[in-house]
Structure 1
């Protein structure tokens, strides 16, 4: 028997995901009250609206996010972001996650999810400061070993210094490896023995978008 594990943060009105990025605004294109004027008595509907920046909540980075000629949300194949065998790399308590943390891991063709435990700070000011990140050497190793996708439960897969370098994004997306950031719930997963899914809508001309990331755990 399988079980499903939620790996996404809930999107709510005004929530802050990243410093400087405004929170989403939720509204209604058609309220239930207004719909009563359109439909038969006793029949009503709600049609919602949302305004958000694509980097909100738990979201997917496609190569187009970093490279103008890379595949965007509509160009990344389902095989790259859905029904992937997964592996969790435990890195709780570490500020930087180096390639040594992946020693002995079979990552080829897998979704590699890095659990740092930083998700416990999501929704607080602490989330924005001193977050764990993936070292460039670890990203190079993941590319060389053929990882299919890389996810992490922190503010950013890279360190976020003022000079703006992003080596993990550059290496992984340059190799066509999608990234999922701001994950949560990775502690509930086994190290292996699950399938990972993180699918956004097929929006042409966009490189990032929120996903409902989840895992299907065997047995």
Structure 2
């Protein structure tokens, strides 16, 4: 028996994912009313449009996000984004995720998801302040051990002072390890024994994009 667990935030008109990043604008390329002039009586369609910054909602960072020559959305292999064995690191109530929470874990080839519980603040001003993050030493520990992907249910995998460095992005993306930020629902996952899917569209020349991240829990029939 398998279960599907949603790990993405819903994208809505005007939502703010990150301070200073404009929210998405939803519209219609072809409205249902206008389509009635195009199709036969009783037949109508809606073709929507959306204008958004790529870092909206729950999104994936590829190496191209940090490095101009790194693989972009169209170049990261599907095997690095879908059907990944998952591992949750429990860090709820902590300001940062350090090496001590990772030592002894077998992370190679796995999707390592950092559960901080910060997703409970999503959509509020509290989400933007003093958020949990991955410590630089822990990012290096992961980069040296080859996880397939690293995700977090917080504003950013790095601490975010106004003009700070981004060591976790630099180390992980430099090692070819994609990052998923703004996850949600990680508390519903077991520590292990699930498969993660977080594949974005294959957009050439872009480094980030929203994903419909979800986990498959349990044995397949």
Range of TM-score over shorter length: over 0.9
Q: Point out where structure 1 has 5 or more consecutive residues left out of the alignment.
A: none
Segments of 4+ moved more than 2 angstroms: none
Residues 114-123 or 104-113, more deviating: 104-113
Residues 125-134 or 160-169, more deviating: 160-169
Post-superposition Cα deviations, 1:161-191, rounded to whole Å, max 9, x if no partner, equal 1222100000000000000000000000000
- Equivalent residue of 2:192, what SS? coil
Q: How does 1:95-174 map to 2 (within 5 A)?
A: 95-174=95-174
The Cα of 1:103 is off from its aligned counterpart by 2.2
The Cα of 1:111 is off from its aligned counterpart by 0.2
TM-score by length of 1: 0.99
Post-superposition Cα deviations, 1:103-156, rounded to whole Å, max 9, x if no partner, equal 221111000000000000000000000000000110111111111100000000
* Residue in structure 2 matched with residue 73 of structure 1 by the alignment: 73
* Corresponding position: 1:215 with 2:215: yes
CA RMSD of aligned residues (A): 0.6
Residues 82-91 or 161-170, more deviating: 161-170
TM-score by length of 2: 0.98
Post-superposition Cα deviations, 1:28-67, rounded to whole Å, max 9, x if no partner, equal 0000000000001110000000000000000000000000
Q: Point out where structure 2 has 5 or more consecutive residues left out of the alignment.
A: none
Size of the aligned set, in residue pairs, is 219
* Residue in structure 2 matched with residue 94 of structure 1 by the alignment: 94
Q: Using the alignment, how far apart are the partners of 1:162 and 1:60 within structure 2?
A: 22
- Equivalent residue of 2:27, what SS? strand
* Corresponding position: 1:3 with 2:18: no
